[in-house]
Structure 1
Amino acid sequence: MHSHLRFENPPALPHEAVAGILEEALRDRSQEGEAAVALVGSALNDDDREFVEHRCVQIGTRAVPGSPLLGLAGLCLGHAARRFGCLSDEALALAESLAARAEADPTDVDGRALDGFDDIRSFLHLR
């Protein structure tokens, strides 16, 4: 008998739940897995661009160096750029900063930040 792993995109959770999960993960790194699911669910399925950006910026500016949430925040900003066709100046600057950090030191910010910034450049037609 073979068991097959199947990936499914997480759903968007209510804003209050996402906010609480992310805050908890910023205090307790053991909660980063749950925070990752909440952030990805919002980036892929929440229709409130400002909320998605705010939560990505929150994580991208407050998570400790080396946290997998940093690269994920950059990736999720790429998802937001694809879905909404725009990003705020603050979100764009953070995505660029996270990508630069990932390029300089992948133990600080993982490569997903580079993937996210590539998506941003592609979908927002940046050079």
Structure 2
Amino acid sequence: MHSDPRFENQPGLPHLPHELVVETLERVLHDRSQENEAARVLVGTALNDDDREFVERCCMQIGTRAVSGSPLLGLAGLCLGHTARRFGHLSDGALALVESLAARAEADPSDVDGRALDGFDDARSFLHLWDSEAP
């Protein structure tokens, strides 16, 4: 399932200074009570920040360091899908992560939620990857 490929500034999801984004994401890795705020910041960054490399770094930080079962893992995969859609490109590391998160979600939804599958689907569709493997 794909959402609208047009990206506009979403209400409640502002473009934030990079320092604040980094601080918020680092804080949630040590304090899970901050997950709602971190989710808002991660989605806002993925949808509104014009620096693809920064967006990827944020998603990769969360997608590689959040604990199993954190809703931020699936969200990191979804946000990488948004990034692929917005920029038409993901680095090799980001591609590997979105694929890995999707595989984890498929294997155990209590580890990584299904939003990672949506992110992987977006990456496949918008980057025209893995076309030979598609059904």
Fold agreement, TM-score > 0.5? yes
In the TM superposition, structure 1's runs of 4+ consecutive aligned residues that sit over 6 Å from their partners are: none
- Please report how far the alpha carbon of residue 11 of structure 1 lies from its aligned counterpart in structure 2 after TM superposition: 1.3
2:28 equivalent to 1:18: no
Distance 2:13 2:120 in 1: 22
| Structure 1 counterpart of 2:52 | 49
- What amino acid is the match of 2:50? D
Deviations 1:9-36 (A, max 9, x none): 5112110000000000000000010000
- What amino acid is the match of 2:69? G
Distance 1:75 1:9, change over 3 A: farther
Distance 1:22 1:92 in 2: 21
> What is the aligned residue count?
121
DSSP-derived class of the 1:107 partner: coil
Distance 1:67 1:12 in 2: 24
2:37 equivalent to 1:34: yes
DSSP-derived class of the 1:27 partner: coil
- Where structure 2 has 5 or more consecutive residues not aligned to the other structure, the ranges are 1-9, 131-135
DSSP-derived class of the 1:34 partner: helix
Deviations 1:31-63 (A, max 9, x none): 010000000000000000000000000000000
- Please report how far the alpha carbon of residue 8 of structure 1 lies from its aligned counterpart in structure 2 after TM superposition: 3.5
Q: TM-score, normalised by structure 2?
A: 0.88
Distance 1:9 1:76 in 2: 16
**How much is the aligned-residue C-alpha RMSD, in angstroms?**
1.0
Identity rate of aligned residues, in percent? 78
Kindly report which structure 2 residues correspond to 1:28-107, keeping only aligned pairs within 5 A, or say none.
28-107=31-110
